[in-house]
Amino acid sequence: MPDKASLMQQSAPPVDDDLEREIAALFVQALNLEIAPQDIDPEAPLYGAGLGLDSIDILEAALILSKQYGIQLRADSPENHQIFRSLRHLAEYVAARRTK
Amino acid sequence: MEHAAVKAADQVKPLLSHESPASVVAYRGGRAVGAQQFLADARQLAERMPSGKYVLNACVDRYHFAAGLAAGLVSDKVNLLPSTHAPEFLRQLAQFAPDAFCLTDQARCDIDLPLLRYPRDLGERVPRRAAVALRGGTASFCVPQIPQEQVAAIVFTSGSTGMPVPHQKTWGRLTHCVRDGASKLGLLDGRAHTLIGTVPAQHMYGLESTVLLALQSGNAFAAERPFYPADICAAIAAALRPRALVSTPIHLRTLLAAGIDLPPLDLIVSATAPLSQELAREAEHGFKTRLLEIYGSTETGQIAARRTADSALWRLWPGVRLRTDHGQVYAEGGHLEQSTPMCDVLEITGEDEFLLHGRTADLVNIAGKRSSFGYLNAQLIDIPGVIDGAFFLRGGADLDGGVTGIARLAAAVVAPSLDPASLLEHLRRRIDPVFLPRPLLMVERLPRNATGKLPLQALQALCEPRSRERGSAPGAS
């Protein structure tokens, strides 16, 4: 039976919400999205259904990440948008790789 | 007899123009694939194909795609190349070609057709007979000769009524066009060039300027399709020189904005949308080479080129001419089978040159994907629950996207029983994502005038904040 401390650990967010919100705000502004940053579901896919980004948005988003956080994204193919599988995942990725 | 043989040779064109079995056709994962291997792969793939006449070639890897195309050519099957895999488009395609099957190299494939997975064991080794031939010299290096009249591929445009319009591409016309292009681009100088493409092989431009261009000029293409700027630069740096980048204004703009080291190139080719002279000069400077822009269309294939940094004038391919009849510009001659009406506004400035002034009103082109307002509106109104609706372009240059500079479409829809999310879901099944409206405005009625027409200005006014529902609430800023 899990003790109270480990339960709290499980429910604690892996990255700070601030970074999530910051990235959401950057995307909404740069991509002219029809949604308020705080309304983006952090677990929903960013690409395709979900937030509805397409490959042009992803290119633009990649530039934002390089300018803002010094991250150059790499992928095996245009179909591989794993990094964008959710806002939360992306924020974790940025937190781990950012150089600025 | 001799005369008949000459005539027969005249009616065919070789699958590729590489002169020896080891001449490199493609680079895949850093490995060179020779002409002999490529032909062996194509023949083996053809043997594994089902009996249907039509192959929807959805391979992402450019080498796999090329093998699928060549397999179709040697077994008289037609490659279908739709610009989108939206389910509704594929449903219409299945009506057009009921026996179609899909060739895919992706683990996950949502295309609702019988699937042929690209066999993983192809390309592992040259079949024994061919290996013997390799050692024995070029004696049995036999390049298939494809009848000029054979339909190699069918590409689709949206048409204006809601049904895709097929355009048949015969082997003779395709190769004629691409060979003219190869000489214009300077790829027939005897050196072994490598073509790196950021465009999909299924797109008319990608088909012509990566796969066919390499096959028909004795050069090689890179199998990968790099996406992010860092991927593209890595792919360029990994390629032997001389090397060319076959790309689009969007990718070039993104590359130049990424702030990373740009490896030198020996040629840049751009198409799908006009490039500004400023961006062309920046690209030439950044990659230390010249940039040639190509003009073409799905209907005509490539017909002209210009060095954008130097001139706004487009030079026509050898033998191709433009003429105007009742205000409509037609292209004819060269590789064109018949006089073909152009969908763009062109100004003829000389016998073999013209200026491009934009698109005709119904045509939509976003990031190289083409559709028409007629098609998009027909798809929108066909959704159960939609009473009225229209797509339109938002006004004002300031609404363009960021660095990529893409202006998205907007749509106004009357559909009281639908919420925006479910309406978008319906649209996603019918049209390519780049055409999804941003914003999608749910309105009580469209601003039709007395004659039932929809003035563009009235539609654009719907986008202004104060006329929007959520902006019109009292006290809202």
pLDDT digits (tens, 9 = 90+) for A75-93: 865 666 778 989 999 999 9
What pLDDT is attached to residue B143? 96
Q: Does A30 contact chain B (CB < 8 Å)? A: yes
CA–CA min distance A41, chain B (Å)? 14
Q: Which chain A positions have a beta carbon within 8 Å of B258's beta carbon? A: 63, 66, 72
Task: Give the pLDDT mean for B423-434.
Answer: 92
pTM score, two decimals? 0.85
Kindly identify which residue of chain B lies nearest to residue A78, measuring between CA atoms.
B227
Chain A to chain B, count of Cβ pairs less than 8 Å apart?
A: 84
What pLDDT is attached to residue A78? 60
Higher pLDDT, B110 or B137: B110
Check A54 against B439: CB less than 8 A apart: no
Question: Which two structure tokens, joined as six digits, stand for B220?
Answer: 């090689």
Structure-token match 């994962």, residue found:
B29
Q: Does A99 contact chain B (CB < 8 Å)? A: no
CA–CA min distance B300, chain A (Å)? 26
Higher pLDDT, A51 or B396: A51
Distance CA A88, CA A66 (A): 18
Segment B161-183, tens digit of pLDDT: 777 889 999 999 999 999 999 99
Q: Does A72 contact chain B (CB < 8 Å)? A: yes
- Three-state SS across chain A? CCCHHHHHHHHCCCCCHHHHHHHHHHHHHHCCCCCCHHHCCCCCCCECCCCCECHHHHHHHHHHHHHHHCCCCCCCCCCCCHHHCCHHHHHHHHHHHCCC
Instruction: Count CB-CB contacts under 10 A for residue B477.
Output: 4
Please count the CA atoms within 13 angstroms of the CA of B45 that sit on its side-chain side.
32
Q: Does B402 contact chain A (CB < 8 Å)? A: yes
- Our CA angle for A70, B225, B41, nearest 5°, is 150
Interface probe with B: pick from A39, A63, A67, most Cβ of B within 10 Å: A63
Q: Does A15 contact chain B (CB < 8 Å)? A: no
> Which 78-107 residues of chain B touch chain A by CB within 8 A?
106
Nearest by CB to B230, which of A31, A32, A74?
A: A74
For B117-173, give the DSSP string.
Answer: EPPTTTTSS--HHHHHHHHT-STT--PPEEETTSEEEEEEE-TTTSS-EEEEEEHHH
CA–CA min distance A18, chain B (Å)? 24
Percent of chain B with pLDDT over 90: 67
Task: Give the pLDDT mean for B347-356.
Answer: 95
- Contacts of residue B284, Cβ cutoff 8 Å, sequence gap at least 6: B268, B290, B291, B309
What pLDDT is attached to residue B405? 66
What pLDDT is attached to residue B365? 85
> Which 244-283 residues of chain B touch chain A by CB within 8 A?
250-251, 254, 257-260
Task: Give the pLDDT mean for B207-232.
Answer: 96
Higher pLDDT, B454 or B236: B236
Assign B258 a pLDDT band (cuts: 50, 70, 90): very high
